[in-house]
Chain A
């Protein structure tokens, strides 16, 4: 329980109806099974939950926490355990009431949003204006602000809409000490148009490849880049039905294809050629195994007993989903011709959904644009984890696919993970011609029925080792948390620099840094210990 005077002060700031420390209500913030890498399904219960509506209120809360020696953690759409409190005694700042789209500058392709705008909402408003936004793979139920300022950020449309780290412009930020920082052009009174400068860019403090996951204060507004949504029609019209039986009018010059390549080498070559040709709007690896599991969660185990089906699934695993979205008929004709040329030259074959199953084509296209399918991974077991997925040249990313499949197979055979043919990879190339991207390897499991749920931590440990042994970059499993203890010394002591940033910006350690990094002195002490604990699977008391 919070000290009475602190609770009272919170009520004075926010109104009594916007503060609670009722245990059951607090526990609705402590159930975070998704991407939970602790032993316990329940994560630490917040000390209280507060609901501010304005930046001034957020500042007042954070300043109070600094004075009272209590930690706080920001929370918006809050999916995945990173959003939860990482230890006892933390006030969860639920930003649900800060849910406005402040402005959309159509001409200059910029929107300004608050934390509780979800991806669908922003995309819907963008499409009315012939624009689009970046929606991450986790889904349109997630907050773009949270992803851009504090999370990861891959998305289906990364080929066209980049990656979350690269999407913020100016940001309004309540620092861990309660001061307000208006980053970029905003701080200079020049509006929201640019996030870098004057001089060095403080976006570098805000986040790196991953974000601080609430460990560096609260982001209250963010300007985000918008992108063209080619065509006159705006969002698909006349939508009827749900999920796989959607019926709608897709914009005319948008089309989805599946490309099956004969090997990972050719799959990577196909991606390389797409990048160089500068065509396409969506590029993403499709996982045959994952897709089959999601569509047939009950039957997959039986089906996979058939060697023939397994062989077929394996043969079809080098699959790219690629969508075109063109400004004109001429552009469409060109892009499709180039696509077919590349398909032929990479010994692949093209599955033109629009001809084979038009209604399913429209459905899949829309679901991909709105990033809906990834959430279906929960259908299979209620839980999943992810690894590999470093951000680099796609030729390297593909090496991770093969390694991941081999590593995961024994865990599936032992019943720790759910059958997905071993291939449950996802990711594509980003930023047009750049040719870099990611491919992550997912593993599905059900905490309710898994024979040995804790074995999943062994798997993650192994993935980090394999990534290191084969020099496959800095994997998704290594962002935040305790991986710094092992990887930091191998990587120019990034952990020490990062912890110094933490100390400098959070002198009173008021921001819960469980998924970021502790302050410098604490990190130094931890690094001096011989036994630093395991990377994954800590209990709450260890975490």
Chain B
């Protein structure tokens, strides 16, 4: 079978020198034996094939006709959160391998050749049926906003379109968080609106699990909705959606014409402009978890270069992950008096993944929780009483991991601290 799509990334596969740096956080940053690793896949399953390098090696093996794509190989490819830590580490040393793009191509090839996971198929069917990844009725999409009196863009124009995202829209455990975000922004004087039950999935999850074509529909839908709202800014509290809008859409020439911000980004702006002021809360020691899709994967897609020889690609077009959102959530945390931020060892561009991404939460829940448990261990090692983050997927999975571990640690969103800092007002 010809693998034209796989073949397109041959140069990336052949570039791998097999140094295994993709398995570790950048070596300059390693401060302990315990928190040195960066790749949940190889850490869990151990065969080199599970690492970024290993997946590139397998792809090369397939296009060199030394082996074939089959269920076992597909399983390796799917057991990956696409967190991008490997790319950050590798690109410390070199410029010519785009790991996540390579993995997207591998997944797309798996889907095209019929190597699909039933759990992923369920996600796609849910999206087709109900415009969300959660298997929930579309009609209930905006139930989370009941009683908040947030303008509906179907009836009025707004400045800022608030896109909740699938998980926030339907996860009861996160209802409080999304409501707080919307309320907070409204109270801060932002003219936000929501699409109500017309809000649909961003399509990013579909892309990541190999159904690249599916994302286009949702991207087109999103673009129309944004246009119809009159908004100049699209804001979302969901890191996955943020990444989809900032990276996947433009990469696939589906860019939105408006500014895209994460809620922490927008709020940090308000803080710096003095529009919001935060007071002190009860003393609390917290640590912050950088969501992959807000941090390193939240870096905008760098368009403007094309070519076959990536060695000649200028550095400014390299997706190093450094231009993601790292400081804004931290600024907000530190602005709340009484809250002490203790950093973990694996932070920022080299943060350890929560475990939820890339379809792993749905298809390999044990692996997802295993990954989250490692992060909770790391959070507890700081002495913090709460792990704070800015992504519904991280929050959901951390809560699950903490329950399984039987430990005491709170899971908070940044907005929970903001809420404390406003005195609940």
Whether the complex brings A and B within 8 Å at their CB atoms is answered yes
Interface residues of A (CB under 8 A from B): 17-18, 20, 22-34, 41-42, 45, 49, 51, 77-80, 94, 96-97, 101, 117-125, 128, 139-141, 235, 239, 242-243, 246, 297-298, 366-367, 370, 372, 375-376, 378-383, 446-449
A/B interface sample: 26 pairs, CB < 8 A: A20-B47, A24-B49, A24-B76, A25-B47, A27-B58, A27-B60, A28-B48, A28-B51, A28-B58, A28-B61, A31-B57, A34-B18, A80-B18, A94-B47, A96-B42, A119-B27, A120-B24, A124-B31, A141-B21, A242-B26, A242-B28, A370-B27, A375-B21, A378-B19, A378-B94, A449-B311
Which of B65-73, B112-120, B214-222, B414-422 lines the interface with chain A? Answer: B65-73
Most buried by A among B45, B53, B93: B93
Which 3 A-B pairs rank lowest in CB-CB distance, beginning with the nearest? A27-B61, A23-B67, A28-B54
A33 lies within 8 A of B17 (CB): yes
Of all chain B residues, the one with the shortest Cβ separation from A76 is B20
| Pick from B47, B55, B72, B311: contact of A297, CB under 8 Å | B311
Contacts of A119 in B (CB 8 A): 27
B20 lies within 8 A of A77 (CB): yes
How far is it, in angstroms, between the C-alpha of A383 and the C-alpha of B311 when the chains are bound? 12
Contacts of A383 in B (CB 8 A): 17
B66 lies within 8 A of A141 (CB): no
B93 lies within 8 A of A379 (CB): yes
| Pick from A25, A51, A123, A382: contact of B15, CB under 8 Å | A382
How far is it, in angstroms, between the C-alpha of A529 and the C-alpha of B11 when the chains are bound? 41
Of all chain B residues, the one with the shortest Cβ separation from A297 is B311
A24 lies within 8 A of B17 (CB): no
B150 at the interface (CB under 8 A from A): no
A97 lies within 8 A of B46 (CB): yes
Q: Mark B299-310, 1 if CB is under 8 A from A, else 0.
A: 000000000010
B98 at the interface (CB under 8 A from A): no
| Pick from A26, A27, A370, A449: contact of B28, CB under 8 Å | A370
A124 lies within 8 A of B57 (CB): no
Q: Do A117 and B33 contact each other (CB < 8 Å), given the known contacts A28-B57, A141-B20, A243-B28?
A: yes
Of all chain A residues, the one with the shortest Cβ separation from B21 is A141
Q: Mark B1-44, 1 if CB is under 8 A from A, else 0.
A: 00000000001001111111100101111111100100000100
A18 lies within 8 A of B46 (CB): yes
Interface residues of B (CB under 8 A from A): 11, 14-21, 24, 26-33, 36, 42, 45-49, 51, 53-55, 57-58, 60-62, 64, 66-70, 72-73, 76, 88, 92-96, 309, 311-312, 314, 320, 322, 349
With A94-B46, A101-B33 given, can you name 9 additional A-B contacts, CB distance below 8 Å?
A24-B70, A27-B57, A41-B14, A51-B46, A78-B18, A120-B36, A297-B311, A298-B311, A375-B93
Most buried by A among B21, B51, B62, B69: B21
- How close is B24's CB to chain A, nearest CB, in angstroms? 6
A96 lies within 8 A of B19 (CB): no
B49 lies within 8 A of A125 (CB): no
- How close is A521's CB to chain B, nearest CB, in angstroms? 34
How far is it, in angstroms, between the C-alpha of A429 and the C-alpha of B72 when the chains are bound? 50
Contacts of A28 in B (CB 8 A): 47-49, 51, 53-55, 57-58, 61
A379 lies within 8 A of B28 (CB): no
How far is it, in angstroms, between the C-alpha of A380 and the C-alpha of B312 when the chains are bound? 10
Of all chain B residues, the one with the shortest Cβ separation from A377 is B93
How far is it, in angstroms, between the C-alpha of A381 and the C-alpha of B49 when the chains are bound? 23
- How close is A137's CB to chain B, nearest CB, in angstroms? 13
Contacts of B49 in A (CB 8 A): 24-25, 28
B48 lies within 8 A of A79 (CB): no
Contacts of A297 in B (CB 8 A): 95, 311
Of all chain B residues, the one with the shortest Cβ separation from A18 is B46
- How close is A401's CB to chain B, nearest CB, in angstroms? 25
Contacts of A382 in B (CB 8 A): 14-15, 17, 94, 96, 311
Contacts of A376 in B (CB 8 A): 93-94
Contacts of B18 in A (CB 8 A): 31-34, 78-80
How far is it, in angstroms, between the C-alpha of A375 and the C-alpha of B11 when the chains are bound? 19
How far is it, in angstroms, between the C-alpha of A313 and the C-alpha of B65 when the chains are bound? 45
- How close is A224's CB to chain B, nearest CB, in angstroms? 14
How far is it, in angstroms, between the C-alpha of A446 and the C-alpha of B18 when the chains are bound? 15
- How close is A448's CB to chain B, nearest CB, in angstroms? 6
How far is it, in angstroms, between the C-alpha of A383 and the C-alpha of B94 when the chains are bound? 11
- How close is B71's CB to chain A, nearest CB, in angstroms? 10
Of all chain A residues, the one with the shortest Cβ separation from B36 is A121
A120 lies within 8 A of B309 (CB): no
How far is it, in angstroms, between the C-alpha of A4 and the C-alpha of B309 when the chains are bound? 45
- How close is A38's CB to chain B, nearest CB, in angstroms? 14
How far is it, in angstroms, between the C-alpha of A94 and the C-alpha of B26 when the chains are bound? 23
- How close is B281's CB to chain A, nearest CB, in angstroms? 26
How far is it, in angstroms, between the C-alpha of A99 and the C-alpha of B27 when the chains are bound? 17
| Pick from A30, A31, A139: contact of B16, CB under 8 Å | A31
A448 lies within 8 A of B15 (CB): yes
- How close is A483's CB to chain B, nearest CB, in angstroms? 23
Contacts of B309 in A (CB 8 A): 448-449
How far is it, in angstroms, between the C-alpha of A215 and the C-alpha of B349 when the chains are bound? 40
Most buried by A among B33, B67, B70, B92: B33
| Pick from B30, B48, B70: contact of A124, CB under 8 Å | B30
How far is it, in angstroms, between the C-alpha of A527 and the C-alpha of B157 when the chains are bound? 87
How far is it, in angstroms, between the C-alpha of A372 and the C-alpha of B312 when the chains are bound? 23
| Pick from A22, A45, A49: contact of B72, CB under 8 Å | A22
B311 lies within 8 A of A141 (CB): no
Contacts of B57 in A (CB 8 A): 27-28, 30-31
Q: Do A24 and B58 contact each other (CB < 8 Å), given the known contacts A121-B36, A124-B31?
A: yes
Contacts of B320 in A (CB 8 A): 242
- How close is A174's CB to chain B, nearest CB, in angstroms? 19
Of all chain A residues, the one with the shortest Cβ separation from B347 is A240
Of all chain A residues, the one with the shortest Cβ separation from B77 is A24
Contacts of A51 in B (CB 8 A): 46-47
- How close is B374's CB to chain A, nearest CB, in angstroms? 14
